[in-house]
Amino acid sequence: MELGAVLPHNEIGTDPGAMKAYAQGVEAQGFTHVLLYDHVLGADRNRPGGFEGPYDKDVAFHEPLTTFAFIAAVTETLEMVTNVLVLPQRQTALVAKQAAQVAILSNNRLRLGVGTGWNQVEYEALGVPFAERGKRQAEQVDLLRQLWREDVLDFSGDYHRVTLASINPRPSQPIPVWFGGAAPALIRRAAALGDGWMPLGGPGAASAEIIEALREARIAAGLAWDGFGIQAQAMFAGGDEERWHKHAERWRGLGATHLAVRTDSAGLGSVDEHLRALERYKNAVS
């Protein structure tokens, strides 16, 4: 089970030097991957009708693909993972172009985790209907892979039309696409179309049931289970060495292939403190 880190999006700030020090520190400690969350907009909770959600306008999110372009330039081995890019609210051909460029400039170190999101405010601002985001996502993944692979394609779907065109340059290897979420329809898409799954919860009965459902669905469809990844997460805050170890072992027992630790919300005030927390966690679970 590979260990990674979740970028402390709201706490790292906007100093490029801090971002560089964090990425290089994570890599130097032997973590294999870094995760970035994705929100384009934050809503004002005092807007007419109010707003309910875990994040609002006062929580900072670094845009994943442009941030990864920066991280790619200052690291050598660190895999960069979106967890998750809210794919349906974006233009598919543009995502294909941007992701391909990050993959090219990083020597194929991009893993694209995709989700459907929950924030209707973002969909409204980006001009995409919220209601059919799941069906749109499935078509997007198909189109992304064709754009990354084909010199020219003729694609006609419910949401996209590409007439004898493609992107250039294209990545030299397929960009892995993993699905985040837990809704039944999402799990079916992940099994049929994904290279892995990104759970939202912990290593309990619900996650175990979903993993088994994924396994059964892939076998029934004639798809390989070996090589299908599970990207879990863990919290540094509120834990200790014993608790972190037990939590990691439970994920390992469920077949998780990757585990990334969050150091946000732990009262840490600097990059060095976040890196020391990561080191302490890694020593506890390795």
Going by C-alpha positions, the residue among 94, 85, 71 that lies closest to residue 116 is: 85
- CB 72 within 8 Å of CB 101: no
Decide if pLDDT at 174 tops 90.
Answer: yes
Instruction: Count up the domains in the chain and report the number.
Output: 1
pLDDT tens digit sequence for 101-141: 999 999 999 999 999 999 999 999 999 999 999 999 999 99
Distance CA 258, CA 40 (A): 26
The CATH number given to whatever domain includes residue 257 is 3.20.20.30
- CB 281 within 8 Å of CB 234: yes
Distance CA 139, CA 176 (A): 16
Distance CA 144, CA 130 (A): 20
φ and ψ of 247, to 5 deg: -65, -45
CB proximity list for 233: less than 8 A, separation 6 or greater: 6, 35, 83, 199, 259, 260, 261, 262
pLDDT tens digit sequence for 8-53: 999 999 999 999 999 999 999 999 999 999 999 999 999 998 899 9
pLDDT score for 205: 97
pLDDT (average), residues 75-86: 98
Decide if pLDDT at 236 tops 90.
Answer: yes
Structural domain of 163: 2-285
- Reported pTM: 0.97
